Amino acid sequence: MCDPVFPYSKKRISTSYHCRRVGKLLQTNPNERAVIYHRGGQGAVRDDTDVEVDFRQESYFFYLSGVEHPGFHILVDLYNDTIYLIPPTVPDTEILWKGEPDTAKELLEIYDADKVIAEADVPALLQVLCPQVVYVLDTVDTSIIKAAGIHECQLDKVCLRVAMDESRLIKFPWEIEHIRYAAQISSHAHMALMQRAQAGQPESYCEALFRWVCARNGMPRQCYIPIIASGSRAATLHYTRNDKTLPEGEHAMLLVDAGGERFCYGSDVTRTFPISGRFSSEAKTIYEIVLKMQETILSQLKPGAMWAGLHNLGVYILCQELIRIGILVGGTHEELLHLGLPRAFYFHGTGHSVGLDVHDVGGRTAGVLTNSYHERKIQSQMLISRPLKKNMVLTVEPGLYFNPTSIAMWTQKPGYAKYFNMDMINKYMPVGGVRIEDTVVLTEDGYDNLTIAPKTVNDIEALMACRAQSYMDSMP
């Protein structure tokens, strides 16, 4: 089957294709006057002040509209195939503070909508469209359409989320290109840290440098709070305080899990490297186990593969390796695997969908594709529970952690202590933890790695050997 050809668009993002695909997935009766209504995020202020909080668009709204600013609405007339963008009503007093809003003409040049109408004209529009059903998210504020005469019984609050999740799971070419850009610039930011991180620096310095590399390349916003976990903190999965100092020590590692965001499209990349620039023997052993897990999973990654199977493959290798280096003892590989013991050192999933959110929607077993209009049902499962498909964007992120809380939980279980060799665990404990995470896109017969930061021991050490002295290092 040929790939669909999408005409070149001058719009920043061809969101009309997103609207149409969602409309198609809703499987509306062609004779039914159906519309989608959605409202974007609204600006907020800090508690009890007039200080604005940084605004980030709600992802479903961005998917339909491409608008990054607060206060907008969208109405997609599925019956007549027309997209209406509705900007917020801006009082003159606000213009004094915030400047002139974009005109309707300007909005149509930037965004992929057919018409722009004022909030005040929504009642008149809805009278003309006279929709029999209005698809909305169950969480959306519908006050403006209710004030315009839409009754609760006309609202369908179930199907839109299912259709949007399904649509967002498989990326359009322009979505992949934005994610590719985000992942590549993020890779450069990771490389900048490899070249500049040093013992004695605050973790916050590394965070600032990561954000700076992203921002100077058009990504002022991060997809999530960067995780800058040095030393023992590398064993904490979502350590985001970033308020300690990079430690000295031959085994000390820095785990950086961070990705910039471009037009709300994110990336998710983790690199772990020795703060000294050279892997200790223990650090190298742990690192190469994680790399072997990742490379093996990647070698099997293609359309048709089941995500759970790939995760189990990673755990299988981990179990083998933990036995090899003497950490797990007292049983055969099968027995130790069956007891779930590798989970003491690897307590998260192997990956997730990435898109407008770092842990993106989709990957749920949605009913839209398989069930008839009247039999739709939602079965939410965060992990992808069906064969992988081309143009899904995923992370592959195995890890191995020496987390004292996790190890204590497992060794304190009655009868379990005998499987753990504490001498060997203590030997590797100073390594903290290792995670290697790439953002990849599924292709026809494999995958395309959107992440370009080095990850072999040799490549990381080679890059770190030419530590850069930039003008930033002399800045206050």
Chain residues in the site for Mn ion (CB under 5 A): 268, 395
Cβ of residue 360: shortest distance to Mn ion, in angstroms? 10
CB of 358: closest distance to Mn ion in angstroms? 6
Q: Which is nearer to Mn ion, 294 or 395 (CB)?
A: 395
* Dist CA 38 CA 161 (whole Å): 11
Return the number of the residue (247 or 399) whose C-beta is nearest Mn ion: 399
Q: Which residues contact 195 (CB under 8 A, 6 or more apart)?
A: 463, 464, 466, 467, 468
Are the beta carbons of 253 and 277 closer than 8 angstroms?
no
H or E stretch including 98?
helix 92-98
Question: 274: which 2 tokens?
Answer: 């020795």
Q: To which residue do tokens 């290792």 refer?
A: 434
Nearer to Mn ion, 165 or 268 (CB): 268
Q: How far is the CB of 438 from Mn ion (least distance, A)?
A: 10
- CB nearer to Mn ion: give 351 or 367: 351
CA pair distance 37, 162, nearest whole angstrom = 15
Orientation of helix 281-299 relative to helix 457-465, angle to 10°: 120
- Cβ of residue 224: shortest distance to Mn ion, in angstroms? 9
Residue 85: which of 28, 30, 40 has the closest Cα? 40
Q: Which is nearer to Mn ion, 242 or 395 (CB)?
A: 395
Report how far residue 341's alpha carbon sits from residue 333's, in angstroms, rounded to the nearest whole number: 10
Q: In angstroms, what CA-CA distances link 298 with 162, 314, 366, 401, 418?
A: 29, 10, 26, 21, 34
Sheet holding 393-396, edge to edge: 393-396, 438-442, 447-449
Least separation in angstroms between CB 267 and Mn ion? 10
Q: How far apart are CA 437 and CA 470, in angstroms?
A: 27
- Phi and psi at residue 440, to the nearest 5°: -130, 160
Residue number with CB closer to Mn ion (140 or 255):
255
Name the residue with the smallest CB distance to Mn ion: 268
Shortest Cβ distance from residue 348 to Mn ion (Å)?
A: 8
**Identity of the amino acid at 163:** A
Least Å distance, CB 352 to Mn ion, is 6
Q: Which is nearer to Mn ion, 230 or 395 (CB)?
A: 395
CB nearer Mn ion, residue 291 or residue 424: 291
How distant, in Å, are the alpha carbons of 110, 116, 165, 395, 461 from that of 42? 20, 19, 22, 30, 46
Closer by beta carbon to Mn ion, 41 or else 259: 259
- Residue 433 — φ and ψ, nearest 5°? -170, 155
In whole angstroms, how close is the CB of 10 to Mn ion at the nearest point? 33
Rounded to whole angstroms, the Cα distance separating 257 from 268 reads 7
Smallest distance, Å, CB 254 to Mn ion?
Answer: 17
Q: In residues, how long is the chain?
A: 476
How many C-alpha atoms does 117 have within 13 Å on its Cβ side? 17
- Closer residue to Mn ion, CB minimum distance, 114 or 295: 295
Secondary element (H or E) of residue 256: strand 253-257
* Nearest-approach distance from CB 80 to Mn ion, in angstroms: 41
Q: Which of 254, 358 has the CB closer to Mn ion?
A: 358
User: To the nearest whole angstrom, how small is the minimum distance from the Cβ of residue 54 to Mn ion?
Assistant: 22
